[in-house]
Amino acid sequence: MSVSTQNEINPVAVEDFLPLNGTDYVELYVSNSKQAAHYYKTAFGFQDYAYRGLETGEKDTESYVLAQDKIRIVLSSPLHSGTAIGKHIDKHGDGVKVVALWVDDATDAWKQTTSRGAKSYMEPTVEEDDHGRVVRSGIHCYGEVVHIFVERKDYTGAFLPGFAPMKTDYNPPTVGLKYVDHMVGNVALGRMNYWVKFYEDVMGFDNILTFDDKDISTEYTALMSKVMSSGNGYVKFPINEPAAGKKKSQVEEYLDFYEDEGVQHIAVATDNIIDTVQKLKSRGVEFLRVPSTYYDTVLDRVGQIDEDLKPLSDLGILIDRDNEGYLLQLFTKPVQSRPTMFFEIIQRKGAKSFGKGNFKALFEAIEREQELRGTL
């Protein structure tokens, strides 16, 4: 151990006024939470976690909470007509309502963000049961999506006060999904920079990457995207807006069918994408497919990788490299009736980027799907 003889000068830390520990949960409003829970368990390997509904004394809403490693999803449906959740489903179809963020101080998170211009969704609220207390607060973001700040350091219960632990006899194994890597929002034409500024000013995020329509365009469609990252990098929200193209872009198709801005995809990380995608496919999850010619030249573009190319090409897994490493990724088809939200499965091997080298092949694959839907 060395002893310094003079005071060391510490770099001035940039104050992070909204320190986030990660994504706490993602809540989807769905038309049939019971069947959605079965789907996410059967197809995606989520596990029983917690429940709130008639059996726990809740009269208006039924919610299933499922988990896989650090990922928690909440699936909520109304138990009668005329509810806010019912109206949300009528307008948008199934979709993400809450992107909840884990904080140490939900009261301060609310004060910091609302004092910087966020519109309040939920004032700091203490919820308690025999297992302790949770403080939650919330703000609005794009569309009808909200961020709820969750402070759970004094809580040892299953999920939140009011929820009972969920245990059933039907427990399909996991598929190796680990954590939410990023969640992408689609916003209206001309609104990307507004929301970039919102995340910068209100939440202290940084714009770490920008893609314009030259990066992300095909013969027909284009989009622009900026990646926003929390101060510590634990939470990343890319934001897309449509750009002018010859035909309707995938972002416009989303906005038309969701009838609003909203969450386009949830990217979930795995340590073994070949194994995870094999399992997801065998359990009925449908993926986008790029032409097999993609694999003729991909290694010229990305160089040496640890995996054999054969299983990657058999499964249609995409590869990209940046100056820090490479990544493997694959996108599902939309997971509800409307062509809106989908999932991305991602394995990072050093790369911190988002697969720019795959955009063209990927968007052409999406356009083939749009063509089939008659929405291109």
Q: Which residues in this chain contact Fe ion in the complex, by CB under 5 A?
A: 267, 344
User: 133: which strand partners?
Assistant: 128
Q: Rounded to the nearest whole angstrom, what is the least distance from the CB of residue 266 to Fe ion in the complex?
A: 9
- How far CA 375 is from CA of 53, 222, 286, 339, 368, in Å, comes to 38, 15, 20, 10, 10
Q: Rounded to the nearest whole angstrom, what is the least distance from the CB of residue 210 to Fe ion in the complex?
A: 15
Q: Rounded to the nearest whole angstrom, what is the least distance from the CB of residue 275 to Fe ion in the complex?
A: 20
Residue closer to Fe ion by CB (options 85, 267) is 267
Residue closer to Fe ion by CB (options 134, 346) is 346
Residue 251: which of 193, 194, 186 has the closest Cα? 186
Rg (C-alpha) for the chain, rounded Å, is 21
Contact 271, 281 (CB under 8 A): no
Q: Rounded to the nearest whole angstrom, what is the least distance from the CB of residue 70 to Fe ion in the complex?
A: 18
- Which helix (DSSP H) or strand (DSSP E) does residue 115 occupy? helix 106-115
Q: Rounded to the nearest whole angstrom, what is the least distance from the CB of residue 182 to Fe ion in the complex?
A: 6
Residue 126: phi, psi to the nearest 5? Answer: -90, 130
Q: Rounded to the nearest whole angstrom, what is the least distance from the CB of residue 228 to Fe ion in the complex?
A: 13
User: CA angle 136-140-142, nearest 5°?
Assistant: 140
Residue 362: which of 342, 348, 335 has the closest Cα? 342
Cβ contacts of residue 208 below 8 Å, gap of 6+?
Answer: 227, 228, 229, 236
Burial class of residue 189 (count of CB atoms within 10 Å of its CB; 0-12, 13-18, 19+):
middle
Which of 306-345 are b and which e, b meaning 16 or more Cβ less than 10 Å from the residue's Cβ? ebeeeebbebbbbbbbbeeebbbbbbbebbbebbbbbbbb
Ramachandran category for residue 162: left, alpha or beta (phi over 0 → left; psi -120 to 50 → alpha): left
Contact 318, 328 (CB under 8 A): yes
Q: Rounded to the nearest whole angstrom, what is the least distance from the CB of residue 181 to Fe ion in the complex?
A: 8
Q: Rounded to the nearest whole angstrom, what is the least distance from the CB of residue 157 to Fe ion in the complex?
A: 32
Residue closer to Fe ion by CB (options 320, 367) is 320
User: In the structure, how many helices (H) and strands (E) does the chain have?
Assistant: 9, 17
CA distance 359 to 215: 8
